[in-house]
């Protein structure tokens, strides 16, 4: 069985530990409204999990390897380790019908094998674009977006626009379902597991 310990010989790759700003995690959760059984497969510092009471979780640094997780869930949502994204996405597609990940956008389109895997699973139900990573608090400049992969989704048409960020005069709110007048909200309910 594929196991993280076979992928990381000694210790987690440091560049894979990139924390999602809490307001961005909440923005994504409000966008997709996950219900039923939810899994954050790489809880990190609880950016998503703190807004998903009752959700299950994995985190390799807390002894729960996602590649050992075999339970079917309705939703998977989070910010995966980028260096093993292909294997990570394949395992995600085995477990859930709706999979939502924030990523450097090029991770999805850089390999035909990844695009074929998505096409076999279904399709991209939505793409919420945040622009340059540094614009929303990531420590890199690559453009990032939240991808919503949906099993059996057959539309091949992706519509997206830059998601507005509070105080970002360069990106006035756009119309449609992605318009937000409230901006990013604050922190939510109490987290689990306890922060390290
Ligand atoms: C990009 S970070 C994101 C952390 C957190 N989800 C967030 O959004 O702030 C990726 C996380 O995946 C964790 N991770 C890497 N491989 C894992 C595995 N096999 N199972 C569970 N967690 C893993 C890392 O320790 C790290 O916390």
Which residue has a Cα nearest atom 4 of ligand 1? Answer: 44
pTM over 0.95: no
Ligand 1 mutation pick, 19, 69, 81, max ligand atoms within 8 A of CB: 81
The pLDDT, as a whole number, for residue 155 is: 77
Q: Is residue 6 part of a domain?
A: no
Q: Which residues have C-beta within 8 Å of that of residue 173, sequence separation ≥ 6?
A: 164, 179, 180, 181
The pLDDT, as a whole number, for residue 136 is: 86
Which residue has a Cα nearest atom 15 of ligand 1? Answer: 81
**Is the shortest distance between the CB of 164 and ligand 1 below 6 Å?**
no
Ligand 1 mean position, distance from CA 72 (Å): 19
The pLDDT, as a whole number, for residue 168 is: 53
Q: Is residue 64 part of a domain?
A: yes
Residue 38 dihedral angles phi and psi, to the nearest 5°: -120, 140
Ligand 1 mean position, distance from CA 92 (Å): 13
Ligand 1 mean position, distance from CA 76 (Å): 13
The pLDDT, as a whole number, for residue 11 is: 53
Q: State the 10-residue block means of pLDDT for the chain, 196 residues long.
A: 47 72 94 97 95 97 97 98 96 98 95 93 93 90 95 77 60 40 31 45
**CATH number of domain containing 140:** 3.40.50.150
Kindly give the pairing relationship between strand 38-40 and strand 75-78.
Answer: parallel
Q: Is residue 155 part of a domain?
A: yes
Q: Is residue 80 part of a domain?
A: yes
The pLDDT, as a whole number, for residue 1 is: 42
Ligand 1 mean position, distance from CA 42 (Å): 4
Ligand 1 mean position, distance from CA 79 (Å): 7
The pLDDT, as a whole number, for residue 43 is: 96
**Is the shortest distance between the CB of 19 and ligand 1 below 6 Å?**
yes
Query: Ligand 1 atom closest to Cα of 17?
Result: 2
Q: Is residue 188 part of a domain?
A: no
Q: Is residue 33 part of a domain?
A: yes
Q: CA-CA distance, 109 to 142, in Å (whole number)?
A: 13
Q: Is residue 12 part of a domain?
A: no
Q: How many residues does the chain have?
A: 196
- Number of domains composing the chain: 1
Q: CA-CA distance, 1 to 35, in Å (whole number)?
A: 29
Q: Is residue 113 part of a domain?
A: yes
Give me the domain span that covers residue 60. Answer: 21-165
| DSSP letters spanning 127-184 | EEEEEEGGGGT-SS-SEEEEEEEEET---------BPP-TT-TTSPPPSGGG--SS-S
Give the Å distances, CA to CA, from 145 to 41, 55, 79, 90, 127. 18, 22, 10, 19, 6
The pLDDT, as a whole number, for residue 46 is: 95
């Amino acid at each position: 069985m594929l196991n993280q310990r076979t992928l990381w010989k000694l210790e987690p790759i440091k560049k894979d530990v990139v924390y999602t700003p809490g307001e961005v995690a909440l923005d994504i959760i409000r966008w997709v409204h996950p219900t039923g059984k939810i899994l954050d497969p790489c809880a990190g510092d609880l950016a998503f999990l703190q807004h998903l009471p009752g959700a299950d979780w994995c985190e390799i640094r807390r002894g729960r390897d996602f590649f050992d997780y075999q339970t079917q869930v309705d939703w998977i949502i989070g910010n995966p380790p980028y260096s093993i994204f292909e294997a990570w996405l394949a395992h995600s597609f085995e477990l859930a019908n709706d999979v939502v990940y924030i990523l450097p956008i090029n991770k999805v389109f850089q390999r035909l094998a990844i695009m074929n895997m998505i096409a076999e699973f279904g399709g991209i139900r939505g793409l919420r674009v945040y622009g340059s990573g540094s614009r929303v608090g990531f420590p890199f400049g690559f453009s990032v977006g939240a991808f919503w992969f949906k099993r059996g989704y057959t539309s091949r048409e992706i519509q997206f626009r830059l998601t507005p960020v509070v105080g970002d005069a360069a990106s006035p709110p756009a119309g449609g379902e992605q318009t937000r007048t409230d901006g990013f909200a604050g922190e939510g309910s109490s987290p689990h597991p306890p922060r390290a």
